[in-house]
Amino acid sequence: MCVAKPILIAVLAIVSIPAAHAQSLPGGFVYLRDIDPTIIQDIRYATSNNFTGHPLSGYGAGECVVKREVGLRLRAIQQELSGQNLSLKMFDCYRPVRASLDMVAWAQNGREPTAERRYNPKIAKTELFRLGYIASRSQHSTGAALDLTLVDLKADNSARYDPAKAYGDCTAPVEARAPEGSVDMGTGYDCTDARGHTAAPSITADQRAWRKRLVAAMARQGFVNYSKEWWHFSLPGAGGAAYDFPIQPRRN
């Protein structure tokens, strides 16, 4: 979700990109796939497999878009991990402002079906703003924030999410949770629960070791983790204005 840390530069740059010029990204943005195509991408807000149950506004393609400096640092991390049979897996990168406003509307719609409760089993969604899990202004919109995890390339990652299946909530054992094709970090992605806090004491030693491994790999390239979300990282100084251009398909 959104980290609730406020953006110091709150300028909103509204940019419209016609489909015919989808590659023309503003403000030093790039498609991560153009920097390193080996980094796995599962951009969840471009699908219905997320806490809102629908693709978010502005996600016209499941592509990770970032500031160039961010992409180059991710490539360096990926190169380090590849020697360990590991890979980064991106869940979210640049996020249009309109998508954050879509989250706001979702939180205020007065409905909490069972599928949504998988992500916030103990917290009413109207409380997610106050508790720092969602913000109407997100660092993601600057291109300097990321949601990601690690993939063990030697493991069987073939299980796929089935929207017709009733999965356990995001704090359940990994066998009962919706599959994410990644290592077991102790909770699923976007889990608004104390177990999702990076230093949560209630996870296993192996799960804690994976989290520390991810944090350490990201820190070596200057990324800082958000303590309430083991999956959320930002690169200080790489952001700036918040943007609202839609994510369009990348042309080959």
- Residue 54 marked as a ligand binder: no
- Residue 197 marked as a ligand binder: no
- Residue 232 marked as a ligand binder: yes
Active site residue 69: no
SS3 readout for the chain: CCCCCCCCCCCEECCCCCHHHCCCCCCCEEEHHHHCCCCEECCHHHCCCCCCCCCCCCECCCCCEEEHHHHHHHHHHHHHHHCCCEEEEEEECCCCHHHHHHHHHHHCCCCCCHHHHCCCCCCCHHHCCCCCCCCCCCHHHHCCEEEEEEEECCCCCCCCCCCCCCCCCCCCCCCCCCCCCCCCCCCCCCCCCHHHCCCCCCCCHHHHHHHHHHHHHHHCCCCEEECCEEEEEECCCCCCCEECCCECCCCC
Catalytic residues: 229
* Residue list, annotated binding site for Zn(2+): 140, 147, 232
